[in-house]
Chain A
C-alpha cells in the first residue's frame, strides 16, 4: 500500500482548522500526537452505544463493553507481536508502566548494591523511578555514555553490564531521535544475566515493533503518542515475569479474593489493573492501532525516514552553520525527531517566534535534563514529524526560522 501524507492529514480534524487565519504546522508529535477521525469516532460511538463497566457485571451491555475492551488488548498485543494478549497490562501511560516495573519487580528483586544500567539519553520516566530505588534500597546506577553523534557508545557495554540486574533503556530518544539497537542490547544484557526494560514510547508509534524479535523482558509505551487518546498506556512483559511480580496498586479488579486477614491476586493482566481502567481510552487506543495497522508501520517508517532526510537537508542547506541539529545524521538510526540549536537564540524565544507562524515545536529540556547537560544546553527546540506531516511542514519551519534572528539582533 502506498502512503500519502496529504490523504492521511485529511483524517485529522484539528489539522483542518486555522489559527488567526493560517493553518497549523504541528511539529510536536514526539510530545503528543494528534487524533484521527477514526479514533475520535470509535470513542464517541463506544460512549453513545456501548459504554458500561467491564469485567464485573453480567448484563449484555457490560458483556459487550468488556468484549470491546479486551478486543483492544488483543489489538495492542498483536501490534507489538506479543505472544499473548494477557501479557499486555493497561496503565496510565509509559511513565506509569516504567514505574510499575521499578516499583513491583524492582522492590521484589533489587537490594542494596544491586546494579541497574541506564543510558545518558533516557527520559526522566526511566531515571527518576530508579533514583527512588537508590534512595530507598541503596541500588547503584551505571550509565551507558553517548558517541559524539548521539548514539549509544557501546565500547564498554560488557563491563557496564557485568554483574548488573537490570538494563533499562530507550528504543528511541525523545530528544535526539536516535534509534537504539534494541535486539543487540537485550542479547548483551541477557548474556550478563540482567533483565531488560525497553522504553518504547517514542518507538512504537513510528516503527514496526516486535517484542519477540527484540527478546525484551519489559516494554513500555503510551497511547497518546500513537494517535490514541491520552490517559492510557501499556506495559508488555513476559508472562512468567508478570506472574512472579507482586501487585502494584491494590483495589478492585486486581484481586481473586479478599478476606479480613489478607488477599490473593487475580491472574495477570488484571493483577496490575486495580480499579476501573480508562475504558473509553483503551477502546480508543485499540482504534489507533487499527488506524496505524491500516497505514502499515513499515510505510510509516519509510515516510518518516524520507521526511527526516528532507528536513535535515533543507535546514542545513538553508542555514549552514547557523543551525545545529543534534543526534545521528544517518537516517537509518534515527527517527524524524529533530532537536536543534539556531543562531544562539534561546529555544523558548525561538518557539515564540515560530508560534507567530503557527509552527508548533517543543522548547525545553524534554524531560531529559541529564542529556541536556551533556549537550551543554538547558533547552533545545525540537521539531518532531509524524504521519500527517509532509515536506511542506519542513519548508514552513525553515521559512519561519528566517524571522527569528532579526528580532534578537544577535
Chain B
C-alpha cells in the first residue's frame, strides 16, 4: 500500500496552507463552478483572458488538501500562458492523472513537451484512485471556464 508521504508531498501542503491566486474577478472575467460529487467540494474559477492569453486567474471555494493545492498550482501554471498552451497543459496534467482525453488538434508530442514543474508533486495521487477527482476538479473547472470565453 502506498504511504501517505506519496500523497502529501511538502509542496502540496505548502500550496494547501498558503493557496496562491485566491479570490474572485469581476466581469469581463468568466466564472465557472465545479463540484466533486464524491465529497461535495465546490470550486469557482475566474478567468480573465486578453488577446488569447491568461491575463489573470483566481480560485475560490473549499476543498481538501489535494483539490486546493492542485487548484493553487494550476492557477500559477496557467497565468500568462496562451490558451493553446493552457489546453496542452490541461491535457498533460489529466494524462498524469490517468484521465484519457479524446484525440484533438493537440498532438501527443505537444502534450508530452509540456513542462509540469511543481505539478509533478501531484503524481502520487494516481496511487490513490479515489483522490484523482480531487486533483482534477480545478482543471475540469478551468476547461469549463475556457468554454465560457466569448469567441475571439
Q: Which residues of A contact B (CB under 8 A)?
A: 19-20, 346-349, 352-353, 356, 363-365, 369, 372, 378-379, 407-410
Contacts and interface: CB of A to CB of B under 8 A. Distances in A.
Contacts, number: 53
Instruction: Give me the 6 closest cross-chain CB pairs, A-B, nearest first.
Output: A365-B40, A348-B64, A346-B64, A364-B39, A378-B40, A379-B39
A19 B1 CA distance: 9
A186 to B, nearest CB: 31
B17 to A, nearest CB: 7
A363 B40 CA distance: 10
Contact of A365 (B3, B39, B131, B134): B39
Given A408-B13, A410-B17, A353 B38 contact: no
A219 to B, nearest CB: 28
A408 B131 contact: no
Mostly, the A contact residues are: mixed
A364 B40 CA distance: 6
Contact of B40 (A20, A372, A407, A408): A372
A369 B40 contact: yes
Given A348-B41, A352-B4, A378-B40, 12 more contacts: A348-B66, A349-B8, A349-B64, A364-B38, A365-B39, A372-B40, A378-B62, A407-B13, A408-B13, A408-B17, A409-B17, A410-B17
A409 B41 contact: no
Interface of B: 1, 3-4, 7-8, 13, 16-17, 38-42, 62-66, 128, 131, 134
12 contacts: A346-B65, A348-B41, A349-B8, A353-B4, A365-B40, A378-B39, A379-B41, A408-B8, A408-B13, A408-B65, A409-B13, A409-B17
Contact of A379 (B4, B8, B40): B40
A329 B139 CA distance: 41
Nearest to A346: B64
Which of A20, A346, A408 is most buried by chain B, counting CB atoms within 10 A of its CB?
A346
Given A348-B64, A349-B65, A407-B8, A378 B16 contact: no
Nearest to A407: B8
Contact of A348 (B1, B3, B4, B134): B134
A352 B63 CA distance: 14
A356 B66 CA distance: 17
Contacts of B17: 408-410
A91 to B, nearest CB: 24
Contacts of B13: 407-409
Given A349-B65, A409-B17, A378 B42 contact: yes
A61 B111 CA distance: 62
B38 A352 contact: no
B4 A407 contact: yes
A348 B8 contact: no
A378 B65 contact: no
Given A378-B39, A378-B40, A356 B4 contact: yes
A409 B41 CA distance: 21
Nearest to A348: B64
A365 B64 CA distance: 13
A409 B14 CA distance: 10
Contacts of B3: 356
Contacts of A379: 39-41
A352 B128 contact: yes
